[in-house]
A and B are shown apart, each in its own frame.
Chain A
Amino acid sequence: MTSLHPRALVAAFLVGATAVQAQDTTQKGVRIGLTYERGVRPRVAVLPFAGQHGDSLRVMIGRDLDFSDRIEVEPAAAIGAYEAASGGGTRPPNYGLWKTLGAAAVIQGTANGTGVTVSIHDVARARVAETREFALSGPATGEEWRMAVHGVSDEIERWITGTRGAAQSRILYVRNRQVYVIDSDGAGERALTQGATALSPSWHPSGRYIAYSTFGARGTEIHVRDLRDGTSRRLATASGLNITPEWSPDGQSIAYAHGQENGADLVLAAAFGDGAGARRITVGKGTDNTSPSFSPDGRRLAFTSGRSGHPEVYIADTDGANAELLTPFQFGRPSYRSSPSWSPDGRVVAFQTRGDGEFQVATIALRDRSMKQLTSEGANEDPSWAPDGRHLVFTSSRSGVKQLWILDLETGRSRQLTRSSGGARLAAWSRILGSSP
């Protein structure tokens, strides 16, 4: 541990120096007042939290800030060594020391029975920039409590960078042909369905409901589950193929692929009605049209279609008008592109693409149709955007078994989210959630 000190000091100094040089550009943290160039991450030290469950709080918040990829979090091991010199506990930190170490901000916290008080220190100005008390509901370290702590992390991230973090979110996915959910930090993994094969989970924008498809007696069916009371019901669909449900951004409708004996077309149905009057969106003329993803304004859809002879990504208005090929057709080359996910800022669509080798995750810009391949190791499939618009979760075989991985598009950092036996796939990232489902 002590052998790390000289190196950590040099690294900290360098990062701090870069941060200071970059004063004239881009985003401004609302509380800290520093500005950072794209790609430069402010260095932040999360000191040990006082009070009950202080350790859990500090670990979770430090990890959330790290996973945000916007902030460079001082390694906890290094902090342990500096702690005595910096004051420790609830006493003010030693600003001079942290300044030398290159930290832009120092975070302190004290937990009490019902919440946590967090202070952020502006190291450059040697003062407390913000102090706030956060309520933490639910039993300590339980699901609800953890979601509330992720909310604290996201607010701290806003104090530092000016942009709220996305740690307070969950990811739905399929494991052993059942729907599971996991927190954005990889904790709290649990099954939401049991029994019949369940696929293609999708979040209601509120996070309260999910929709998914199952293999039922009459073909594939779509189910809607209320995560608050645990009830579920079948969406009234015609018999046959009913797959890939996707909630509209207003939460009122579900788009899904329906087919009987002549291909599959996208249809739009009221999510909470009796399903009567499902309206057809695409006219695939016997081809398959699946996997819809709404634009953030809810007015357009990206989807997979085989209408050109092999799967490509198309976009259309939600009434089916103005359908056009999004991913450019490559003449004479066998390609396969599918599983689009429209970014939260509406500017790009992520999808999976394959030429000669394995599937890889790529993005295509709506404006100039420029494509960017984001992965190259193993097979990478079914991307879904984080609510922060800079992270993608997707299935990757890079570790052997298919698991969920998260990629930060800004830094290129990636981390493994699931380590589930039986693998994980078909991920769907929620929006920012409240502390309760």
Chain B
Amino acid sequence: MPRPFRLAAVLFLAAAAIVSGACNRRRAVAVPVPAPAVANRDSIDAAARARTDSLARVDQARRDSLARVQAAADSVSRMASMRTEAMRSAVMSPIYFDYDSDALSEDARSKLDAKLPFLSADQAMRLRIAGHADERGSDEYNLALGQRRAAAAKRYLAQRGIADARIEIISYGEERPAEQGADESVWRQNRRAEFEITAGGGQPGTSGS
């Protein structure tokens, strides 16, 4: 038992003795003195309970507070990861081309525009743009076409302020189709440029992150 509590109990017992002594002096008749031990035990118990409750409340408050902090932290991290997800999805979103063409469609331009704020915000971010072709052209000429598609995407970003050195390009021609098949719905998916984040962008394990 902590020392202040023991002291309080002693003072309480002393006070009780004085009160009962005064009573004895006023009434000389022998009145059975209530066992002080019983009253004292109740008090002690009550005090102990109060003490325990108070401790539990403090503990609960501390726990609540910790949970609130944790929740806040979780929410911050969730938002950050949502932001990373949104960033990655915008930056990595592929663009598509017309048959035997490296011209950037309106849709392709808007997808490239959506990448710009993220590329500007994270100067450590580097990209590899891979150009692809559908299976219809010559296997060999399609390698050159894929290169031209990747170059067109890079040129668009570079003209809008993204440093040349941050973007490398490569062509896979028709060798790595996104979809297998032999109709326009498949070919449309395969005439594309893909964007890979090679550094930065919250990429764990890549240089510059």
Contact = CB atoms under 8 A, between A and B. Distances in A.
Interface in B144-181: 144-145, 147-148, 151, 154-155, 169-172, 175
Interface string A279-321: 0000000001111000000000000101000110000000000
B139 A264 contact: no
B154 to A, nearest CB: 6
A257 B145 CA distance: 12
Chain B: number of interface residues, binned into ranges: 10 to 19
B137 interface: yes
A426 B175 CA distance: 13
B137 A311 contact: yes
A219 B175 contact: no
Interface string B134-147: 00011111011101
A68 interface: no
A264 B151 CA distance: 11
Contacts of A261: 151, 154-155, 169
A149 B15 CA distance: 127
A259 B175 contact: no
A336 interface: yes
Given A220-B143, A244-B140, A288-B145, A310 B151 contact: no
Main DSSP-derived SS at the B contact region: helix
Given A215-B175, A264-B147, A311 B170 contact: no
B139 A426 contact: yes
B175 A290 contact: no
B113 interface: no
Nearest to A262: B151
B138 A311 contact: yes
A117 to B, nearest CB: 46
A282 to B, nearest CB: 12
Contacts of A137: none
Given A199-B175, A220-B171, A310-B100, A339 B138 contact: yes
Contact of B140 (A199, A240, A263, A359): A199
Contacts of B155: 261
B169 A304 contact: no
A358 B137 CA distance: 10
Interface string A163-206: 00000000000000100000000000000000001011000000
Contact of B141 (A219, A260, A304, A426): A304
Given A241-B144, A288-B145, A425 B139 contact: yes
Interface string A362-397: 000000000000000000011000000000000000
A425 B139 CA distance: 9
B175 A241 contact: no
A29 B74 CA distance: 91
A213 B143 CA distance: 11
Given A240-B147, A259-B147, A261-B151, A290 B141 contact: yes
Given A219-B170, A241-B171, A310-B100, A381 B143 contact: no
A interface, over-half SS: strand
Given A215-B175, A288-B148, A304 B100 contact: no
Interface residues of A, number: 36
Contacts, number: 85
Contacts of B147: 240-241, 259, 264, 288
Q: Select the residue from A213, A215, A310 with max chain B CB neighbours within 10 A.
A: A215
A264 B172 CA distance: 15
Given A241-B171, A261-B154, A261-B155, A336 B144 contact: no
A153 interface: no
B138 A291 contact: yes
A290 B137 CA distance: 13
Contacts of A327: none
A341 interface: no
A290 B139 contact: no
A220 B141 CA distance: 13
Contacts of A426: 139-140
A148 interface: no
A214 to B, nearest CB: 11
Given A197-B175, A261-B154, A243 B140 contact: yes
A175 to B, nearest CB: 13
14 contacts: A199-B143, A215-B172, A215-B175, A220-B170, A241-B143, A244-B140, A257-B144, A259-B147, A260-B151, A264-B147, A291-B140, A304-B141, A311-B137, A425-B139
Given A219-B170, A382-B140, 11 more contacts: A220-B143, A220-B171, A240-B147, A243-B143, A257-B144, A261-B169, A290-B140, A306-B144, A338-B138, A338-B140, A381-B139
Which 8 residue pairs of A and B lie closest in terms of their CB atoms, listed nearest first?
A288-B144, A338-B138, A261-B151, A264-B144, A241-B147, A291-B140, A243-B143, A244-B140
